[in-house]
Chains A and B, each alone.
Chain A
Amino acid sequence: MAEEQKREFWRWAETNWINPDIKWEDAEFITVGIDVGSVSSQAVIMADGEFYAYGNMRTGSNSPDSARNALKFALVKTSLTEDKIHYFIGTGYGRVNVPMADRTVTEIACHARGANFIYGPQVRTVLDVGGQDIKAIRCDDKGKVTNFLMNDKCAAGTGRGMEVFADLLSVPIGDVGDRSFQIAQEPPPVSSTCVVYAKSEATGLLRKGLGTNEVLAAYCSAMADRIYSLLKRVGVEPEFAITGGMAKNRGVIDRLKKKLGLEPMKAKWDPQLAGAAGAALFGHALCKKGKGRGK
């Protein structure tokens, strides 16, 4: 059966990485944070509170397996084995289903803590745009949450909504940002409330003769509006950082920047890792206080 397989334009690249400068054998505490989100799962391995290795994958239909796979993927390039790890913390939407977790911490706390590490202690507002929700978090210089707002009811503005659009327009999701700027003139945004309606609007625009890039621009701009209104409600205080998969989509982020009149901080690490990094850091702090597993 030579049936051509449908190309999945929403599918983003899964990655793993190891820090060549760190020898885990020298570390006092090795802690792991596992963030099982609705769309992606990450495992971050920290040696004494420093990035040692990570794995970033798509969440499957089964949360415990997604957690195990992300950890396995992070361990691939290392000589480390699971039994050498001192503490596991689970976070994210599927955190109660992380089988190896010694403890769970909410993703709001982990994102603030992770952003504090990834972007530095100056960060005061963290915007996390994940697969299935948007969180606007205010935090202090220690990465402790002081206030937050969340949308988890509606796909508008989320990564899942963007995947649906990439598929509709047959544009690989990683190209959406750049292509949305390859246009002669910025089109008016499509409906910012409902992805389903935005889809029918987009189809209408294509039929009217608008190019794919223009339609992408109209969608990205609507999603920037959507995220902007949530941020406005919680109040944006510089320094401002963006975590989650959407941080990699400049189609939305550059338009959001323009609306805010604020430049988001530059990340030293993949912003999709913030939640898992925060979790690993909470684990490290517990071990240091002697509240670890007692290994």
Chain B
Amino acid sequence: MITAGIDCGARNTKTVIIKDGKIIGKASVPTGFEQDQAVKESLEMALKDAGITRDQIERIGGTGSGAKSIQEADIKVNDIKAMTMAANFFFPSARTVADVGAEEARTAKCDEKGNVVDFAINEKCAAGAGAFIEAMARALETPLTEMGTLALSSSNPIPLNAQCTIFAESEVVGLIHAKTEKKDISRAIHDAMASRIVSMIRRIGVNPDIVMFGGLAYNPGFVTALQRELAVDQIYIPEAPEFGSAVGAAVVAAQDGQ
């Protein structure tokens, strides 16, 4: 059985095609203002990637903040379920899932089948999302992609007191003026951000194994800080972690069609 999952997010729209429990194609395009257009494009690109045609897909699952624009979807999958089903697809031992994206962070607790047991979301405050590190990278005048490795090179933990992104920007500028080393500031930024995600995870309970999705999974500084704060040996991250929700939607579409 071939199914597709489409995740129409705030920044990017992602499509994944699954055949009998295996990913055979995927694609991501910027969402922009025309969500319908982005959905079409990503689906076409994923079909090309998989080397199949539209009529070979039996069912399509749609998810993400723009899910209502996915007219092709046979089933709408809610964001949390898409995330836990994807975690279960990659790592059946997953019990806690965190998806940390640019403007939103979600955490969920799930059972052995990938069903949602509990969840917590932050979509109100940039200090608990990727936007925080983006803003701090600007203040530090360091490319975003280098922030994580820079943080890893520091062995000197210093506190970052401000909670708010806007205030933290001033604090970082203050630290630069006080001649604090860039790597130590970068570590402080990642530690602060990780502690906010951890406090969200604690609300639903820390239950290994822990799986992480979202763009922040690409940031080694953040993943290390998260691991340290959670006091766990490993955080499981699949290949292409930004496709998590799309995978989950495709998995649900397949189960639902059986």
Task: Name A residues whose Cβ lies closer than 8 Å to a Cβ of B.
Answer: 61, 132, 153-155, 160-161, 164, 191, 193-197, 200, 207-208
Which chain B residue shows the least CB distance to A198? Answer: B126
B24 in the interface (beta carbon within 8 A): no
Known interface pairs A193-B124, A194-B125, A197-B126; A160-B135 also in contact (CB < 8 Å) = no
B165 in the interface (beta carbon within 8 A): yes
Name 25 interchain pairs, CB-CB below 8 A, sorted by A.
A154-B164, A155-B166, A155-B167, A160-B166, A160-B167, A161-B166, A164-B166, A191-B124, A194-B124, A194-B126, A194-B165, A195-B126, A195-B164, A195-B165, A196-B131, A196-B132, A196-B135, A196-B165, A196-B166, A197-B103, A197-B126, A197-B131, A200-B103, A207-B33, A208-B33
The CA of A207 and the CA of B34, in the complex, are separated in Å by 13
Chain B positions 158 through 191: 1 when the CB is less than 8 Å from some CB of chain A, otherwise 0: 0000011111001000100100000000000000
The CA of A194 and the CA of B131, in the complex, are separated in Å by 11
Residues of A within 8 A of B174 (CB): 61
Which chain B residue shows the least CB distance to A163? Answer: B166
The CA of A164 and the CA of B124, in the complex, are separated in Å by 18
The CA of A153 and the CA of B124, in the complex, are separated in Å by 13
Task: Name B residues whose Cβ lies closer than 8 Å to a Cβ of A.
Answer: 33, 103, 124-127, 131-132, 135, 163-167, 170, 174, 177
Residues of A within 8 A of B132 (CB): 196
The CA of A191 and the CA of B166, in the complex, are separated in Å by 15
Residues of B within 8 A of A164 (CB): 166
Residues of B within 8 A of A61 (CB): 174, 177
Smallest Cβ distance from A106 to chain B, in angstroms? Answer: 19
The CA of A101 and the CA of B213, in the complex, are separated in Å by 53
Which chain A residue shows the least CB distance to B174? Answer: A61
The CA of A132 and the CA of B125, in the complex, are separated in Å by 16
- B124 near A195: Cβ-Cβ < 8 Å: no
Smallest Cβ distance from A93 to chain B, in angstroms? Answer: 11
The CA of A164 and the CA of B170, in the complex, are separated in Å by 12
Residues of B within 8 A of A200 (CB): 103
Which chain A residue shows the least CB distance to B169? Answer: A164
Task: Report, nearest first, the 9 A-B pairs whose CB atoms are least far apart.
Answer: A196-B126, A155-B166, A193-B124, A153-B163, A155-B164, A154-B164, A196-B165, A194-B126, A195-B166
Which chain A residue shows the least CB distance to B131? Answer: A196
Known interface pairs A61-B177, A196-B131, A196-B135; A132-B124 also in contact (CB < 8 Å) = no
Residues of A within 8 A of B135 (CB): 196
- A154 near B126: Cβ-Cβ < 8 Å: no
The CA of A154 and the CA of B165, in the complex, are separated in Å by 8
The CA of A194 and the CA of B167, in the complex, are separated in Å by 12
Smallest Cβ distance from B118 to chain A, in angstroms? Answer: 23
Smallest Cβ distance from A10 to chain B, in angstroms? Answer: 12
The CA of A193 and the CA of B129, in the complex, are separated in Å by 14
Residues of B within 8 A of A194 (CB): 124-127, 165
Which chain A residue shows the least CB distance to B103? Answer: A197
- B177 near A132: Cβ-Cβ < 8 Å: no
Residues of A within 8 A of B163 (CB): 153-154
Q: A194-B127, A197-B126, A200-B103 are in contact. List 14 more A-B contacts (CB 8 A).
A: A61-B177, A154-B163, A154-B164, A155-B166, A160-B166, A161-B166, A164-B166, A191-B124, A194-B165, A195-B126, A196-B131, A196-B132, A196-B166, A197-B131
The CA of A153 and the CA of B126, in the complex, are separated in Å by 12
Residues of A within 8 A of B103 (CB): 197, 200
Residues of B within 8 A of A196 (CB): 126, 131-132, 135, 165-166
The CA of A200 and the CA of B163, in the complex, are separated in Å by 19
The CA of A164 and the CA of B135, in the complex, are separated in Å by 13
